[in-house]
Each structure stands twice: as C-alpha cells, then as structure tokens.
C-alpha cells in the first residue's frame, strides 16, 4: 500500500536561515569613521548649547519689547482720544470704514449696514500688561434695533495661556433681532438653493467658540484701529469704473476725430493730384499748338 501523501495545506518546516558571515569592515569600524562620528556628535552638542543661548536672548528681547510696548501704549492714548473726537464730526465714518475693509465687508449683510449707520465710536483698549488681552467697545446712538448704548467684547489670556472671551448681551427690540433673521434667511436660501447671505455681523458678539483665533477681533485691533482713516478714504470702485468709462469714451472720440482728419487730408491730397494732372494736360495741349 502506498504511503499517504502529506497535505499541502499543512505548514511546511523551514530551515533556519543563517546570517551571512561578517566582512572584516563590519567587525571593526575604521579609526577614521569613529573619529568623524565623534566630531559630528560634539558639533551637535555645541549647536544645542548655542541654540539655548539664542532662546535665552529671544526671551529677554520679548520682555524688553513688551516693556517698550507698554510704555508707548500709554503715550498713544491721548492721541487716540483726540482722534475719536475728530472722527465724531464725520457722519457714518465707522460704517464706511467697515464697508471699505475687504474682510469686514464680507461679514456684513444689508441690515447690518443699516444698523451700523448708528455706530458713532469704536475704541480698542489693550489691558495694562498687553499680553493678557484687550477689549473692543462699540458706541451707538438711539436706534430701532437694540436698547444698548455700548456693545463690548473682551478677549482674555489666562496664566496657563488658554484664551477666552466674553461680550455684552444684546437687548434686541421686538422683531429686530438680526441674528435670528440671518439664520431664517439662510434656511430659506438653502431650501431654494439660492445665494446665502453671510451671518449677521452681530452674531460675533455671541460667538465664543474659538477666542484664540477670533479673526474679526484681530482685524479690528491690529489693522483697522491703528489707522481707520486709510479705509475710510478708500475710493468708491463704482466712481472709478465710471471715470474709466468716461476716459474710454473720450479716447474713442479723439480717435474718431483723428480718423476724420486723416481722411480729410487724404481727400485734399487726391484733389491736389487731380489739379496737377489737369495743369500738365493743358501745358501739353499748348505745346502741340
């Protein structure tokens, strides 16, 4: 009887693989290679020591810069106050500034702009030590939207470095809550697949989800507040386009006049040639006679 054949599904025993015999170079590293590695390690250690000194100086510089910034922040306050007094003489200064700012204008709906026409003053106050946070105050005249005379939002950085924010609760008048209107408009628009209006500017006062990355607060503090006049004076793009169209029309009219003048000159030149040919013909007849 023939012996049974072993199933191919059973695991097959494998011979242990032997490591290749080491070459002489692997057994003992060359003295030159060891020296090179030692020099590299020493260089890394020295770089780390130097980097520690650089970091120490950077920390010292940050402390010195903070002291200077605190000093000049106090010196700037009287000028900020004087500027606010002068801005108060210009109607709609702040709403115009916000509308002209590319990032802020993207957050404004039509009703937000209407409400911001009652905005008379904006103030940014950095806390005394500067690094712990700041506050933005918006002052409003009597308006049909809310009861508050001042809306504020504060940003804090605690000792552990965690950011937080808090703001004034807006006391909306009956049926005038722009944040609710914004959400209703967005729901309708999404159902109809139409263009969605941006969230109301005033939802910013209730949004404390990411105080450490509050883009609007940082834009107002670091970009608008240092020099709001530059955005107030941004030229109206519609006016610029209108002027450009007028210039184009003037250029076309001038080109048309030039073409007419050139055609007139060409006609005169042809008439002169005809006259010259006529005179030459008369001279030839006289000579024949």
Residue 6 binned pLDDT confidence (cut-offs 50, 70, 90): very low
Beta bridge partners of 152: 137
Structural domain ending residue among the three candidates 234, 259, 276: 234
CB 187 within 8 Å of CB 98:
no
> What is the C-alpha separation between 221 and 132, in angstroms, rounded?
14
Same-domain check for residues 97 and 137: yes
Per-residue model confidence (pLDDT) at position 24? 47
Same-domain check for residues 56 and 116: no
What distance lies between CA 52 and its chain's CA centroid? 35
Per-residue model confidence (pLDDT) at position 128? 79
Structural domain ending residue among the three candidates 194, 215, 234: 234
Residue 39 lies in a domain: no
Same-domain check for residues 53 and 173: no
Per-residue model confidence (pLDDT) at position 242? 54
What DSSP assignment string belongs to 48-97? HHHHHHHHHHHHHHHHHHHHHHHHHHHHHHHHHHHHHHHHTTSTTHHHHH
> What is the C-alpha separation between 226 and 119, in angstroms, rounded?
18
Per-residue pLDDT tens over the stretch 240-282 = 555 555 555 556 655 555 555 555 555 555 555 555 555 455 5
CB 197 within 8 Å of CB 101:
no
Domain of 187, in residue numbers = 90-234
Residue 260 lies in a domain: no
pLDDT at residue 176 greater than cutoff 70: yes
Same-domain check for residues 68 and 121: no
Per-residue model confidence (pLDDT) at position 111? 95
Per-residue pLDDT tens over the stretch 71-97 = 999 999 999 999 999 999 999 999 999
Counting the structural domains of the chain, the total is 2
pLDDT at residue 216 greater than cutoff 70: yes
99 contacts: CB under 8 Å, gap ≥ 6: 105, 108, 113
What DSSP assignment string belongs to 153-175? EEEEE-TT--EEEEEPPP-BPTT
> What is the C-alpha separation between 224 and 104, in angstroms, rounded?
10
Beta bridge partners of 138: 122, 151
């Amino acid at each position: 009887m023939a012996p049974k054949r072993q199933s191919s599904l059973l695991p097959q025993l494998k011979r242990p693989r032997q490591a290749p015999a080491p070459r002489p170079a692997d057994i003992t590293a060359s003295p030159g290679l060891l020296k090179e590695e030692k020099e590299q390690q020493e260089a890394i250690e020295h770089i780390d020591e130097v980097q520690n000194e650089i970091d120490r100086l950077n920390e010292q510089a940050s402390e010195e810069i903070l002291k200077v910034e605190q000093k000049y922040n106090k010196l700037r306050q009287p000028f900020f106050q004087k500027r606010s007094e002068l801005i108060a003489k210009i109607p709609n200064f702040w709403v115009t500034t916000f509308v002209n700012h590319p990032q802020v204008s993207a957050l404004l709906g039509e009703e937000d702009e209407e409400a911001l026409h009652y905005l008379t003053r904006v103030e940014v106050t950095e806390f005394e030590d500067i690094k712990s946070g700041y506050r933005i105050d918006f002052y409003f005249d009597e308006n049909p939207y809310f009861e508050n005379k001042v809306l504020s939002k504060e940003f804090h950085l605690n000792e552990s470095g965690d950011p937080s924010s808090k703001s004034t609760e807006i006391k909306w008048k009956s049926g005038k809550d722009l944040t609710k209107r914004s959400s209703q408009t967005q729901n309708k628009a999404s159902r109809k697949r139409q263009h969605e209006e941006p969230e109301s500017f005033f939802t910013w006062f209730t949004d404390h989800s990411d105080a450490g990355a509050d883009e609007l607060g940082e834009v107002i503090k670091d970009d608008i507040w240092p020099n709001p006049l530059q955005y107030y004076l941004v030229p109206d793009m519609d006016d610029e386009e209108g002027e450009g169209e007028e210039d184009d029309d003037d250029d076309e009219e001038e080109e048309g006049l030039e073409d007419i003048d050139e055609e007139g000159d060409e006609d005169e030149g042809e008439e002169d040639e005809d006259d010259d040919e006529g005179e030459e013909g008369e001279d030839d007849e006289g000579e024949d006679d």
